[in-house]
């Protein structure tokens, strides 16, 4: 069975991410919701024969054309659109963030539960080779007892892009754009977050473009199952002239270091000039540096997992409850930044 996908929103997320991954995973896009004339032309060219709809109501009135709805609209619309799709009973994928607040996120889960509508959340970074490689290191115990996790999602972008992500005061900003990835990754690796402290600034855009989070995890959680409480330090920024290093994980047995990220410019990338083919990052102990073989994986594996789940052969790719807990951490981060204190989660 080849799943037929309907995509709500055909902009940066809908076309460049979801539609691309659907094609890579062997799915077909058979319906698209977009009002923009240029994007309607793109959708018709990308997916000949796909039905084009001006709004979600029109799409849901024509359910014979698809098996799955992917909500890739702006973040501020996620809760509203999810409630509409949940009422229709059609399985759906909701792009992150699940909603702009934890209260909204809980309402999304409740709406789907009330109609028995299956849905999952697009946390595609769980399938990053970097994340999977780190999971392997932790399971093998090569870092010893981990005490610190650091991840930088930074770019040098002194001229902001003119998009809703940079300008929408309710649904935009890096905390809602990159924060869900950073928090989800840390939680999967090191377990439940007990408290958070945060600094949030708007340096070049109306919304925050400079984010720093400190998460305190409960001991013994996640893949690492470290006996001590791991502290995660997470950065996201657009006005960063020296991005990275991308990831640094510190333990009693050494460190895992990833210098750069997806070809973004970084002064640390020179460290990889001698890296053998097929490796991802370094296991380091002082000056000693050993390349780490990359674990196989790609973001298209998320949609392969979705297909297995919906055809009854696999588990749900991402539990919505995980996304609710992430939203709770992000809510706490906003309180922390505003009040200047550590906030329990």
Q: How far is CA 127 from CA 67, 119, 133, 181, 249, in A?
A: 23, 18, 10, 11, 18
- SS3 state of residue 326: helix
Helix extents (H) in the chain: 20-24, 37-46, 56-60, 78-88, 102-115, 129-140, 164-167, 174-177, 179-190, 300-310, 320-339
Residues 6+ apart with CB under 8 A from 194: 216, 217, 218, 229, 344, 345
Closest CA to 93 of 75, 72, 77: 72
Region 114-130: mean pLDDT is 96
Q: What is the pLDDT of residues 215-239, one digit of tens each?
A: 999 999 998 888 889 999 999 999 9
Report how far Cα 342 is from the mean position of its chain's Cα atoms: 24
In whole angstroms, give the CA distance from residue 27 to residue 2. Answer: 6
Rounded to the nearest integer, the mean pLDDT of the chain is 94
Residues 6+ apart with CB under 8 A from 14: 7, 8, 32, 34, 70, 72, 73
Q: For the chain, where do the domains classified as CATH 3.30.360.10 start and end?
A: 126-298
Tell me phi and psi for residue 157, to 5 degrees. Answer: -135, 70
Q: What is the pLDDT of residue 227?
A: 87
Q: What is the pLDDT of residues 243-291, one digit of tens each?
A: 889 999 999 999 999 998 777 778 888 888 888 999 999 999 999 999 9
Q: What is the pLDDT of residues 165-215, one digit of tens each?
A: 888 888 889 999 999 999 999 999 999 999 999 999 999 999 999 999 999
Closest CA to 69 of 89, 99, 48, 40: 89
Is a pLDDT exceeding 70 seen at residue 1?
A: no
Q: What is the pLDDT of residues 79-108, one digit of tens each?
A: 999 999 999 999 999 999 999 999 999 999
CATH code matching the domain that covers 4-122+300-315, chosen among 3.30.70.20, 3.10.110.10, 3.40.50.720, 3.40.50.2300? 3.40.50.720
Region 60-65: mean pLDDT is 94
With left for phi above 0 and alpha for psi between -120 and 50, is residue 203 left, alpha or beta?
Answer: alpha
Closest CA to 295 of 264, 252, 256, 267: 256
Tell me phi and psi for residue 44, to 5 degrees. Answer: -65, -35
User: Are the C-beta atoms of 42 and 62 separated by less than 8 Å?
Assistant: no
Please provide the CATH number assigned to the domain covering 126-298. Answer: 3.30.360.10
Q: For the chain, where do the domains classified as CATH 3.40.50.720 start and end?
A: 4-122+300-315
């Amino acid at each position: 069975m080849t799943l037929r996908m309907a995509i709500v929103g055909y902009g940066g997320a809908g076309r460049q991410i979801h539609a691309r991954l659907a094609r890579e995973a062997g799915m077909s896009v058979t319906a698209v919701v977009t009002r923009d004339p240029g994007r309607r032309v793109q959708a018709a060219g990308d997916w000949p024969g796909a039905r084009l709809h001006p709004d979600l109501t029109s799409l849901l009135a024509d359910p014979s054309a698809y098996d799955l709805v992917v909500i890739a609209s702006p973040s501020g619309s996620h809760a509203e659109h999810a409630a509409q799709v949940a009422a229709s009973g059609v399985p759906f994928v909701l792009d992150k963030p699940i909603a702009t607040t934890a209260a909204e996120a809980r309402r999304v889960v409740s709406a789907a539960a009330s109609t028995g509508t299956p849905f999952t959340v697009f946390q595609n970074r769980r399938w990053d080779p970097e994340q999977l490689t780190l999971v392997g290191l932790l399971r093998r115990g090569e870092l010893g007892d981990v005490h610190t996790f650091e991840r930088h999602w930074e770019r040098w972008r002194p001229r902001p892009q003119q998009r809703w992500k940079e300008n929408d005061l309710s649904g935009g900003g890096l905390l809602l754009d990159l924060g869900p990835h950073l928090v989800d990754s840390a939680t999967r690796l090191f377990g439940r977050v007990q408290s958070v402290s945060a600094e949030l600034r708007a340096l070049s855009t109306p919304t925050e473009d400079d984010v720093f989070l400190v998460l305190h995890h409960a001991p013994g959680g996640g893949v690492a199952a470290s006996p001590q409480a791991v502290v995660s330090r997470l950065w996201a920024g657009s006005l960063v002239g020296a991005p990275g290093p991308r990831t640094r994980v510190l333990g009693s047995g050494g460190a895992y270091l990833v210098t750069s990220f997806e070809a973004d410019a970084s002064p640390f990338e020179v460290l990889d000039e001698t890296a053998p083919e097929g490796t991802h990052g370094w296991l380091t102990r002082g000056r000693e540096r050993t390349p780490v073989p990359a674990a196989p994986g790609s973001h298209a594996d998320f949609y392969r997992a979705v297909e297995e789940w919906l055809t009854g052969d696999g588990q749900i790719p991402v539990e919505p409850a995980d996304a609710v807990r992430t939203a709770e951490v992000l809510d706490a981060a906003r309180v922390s930044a505003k009040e200047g204190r550590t906030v329990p989660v």
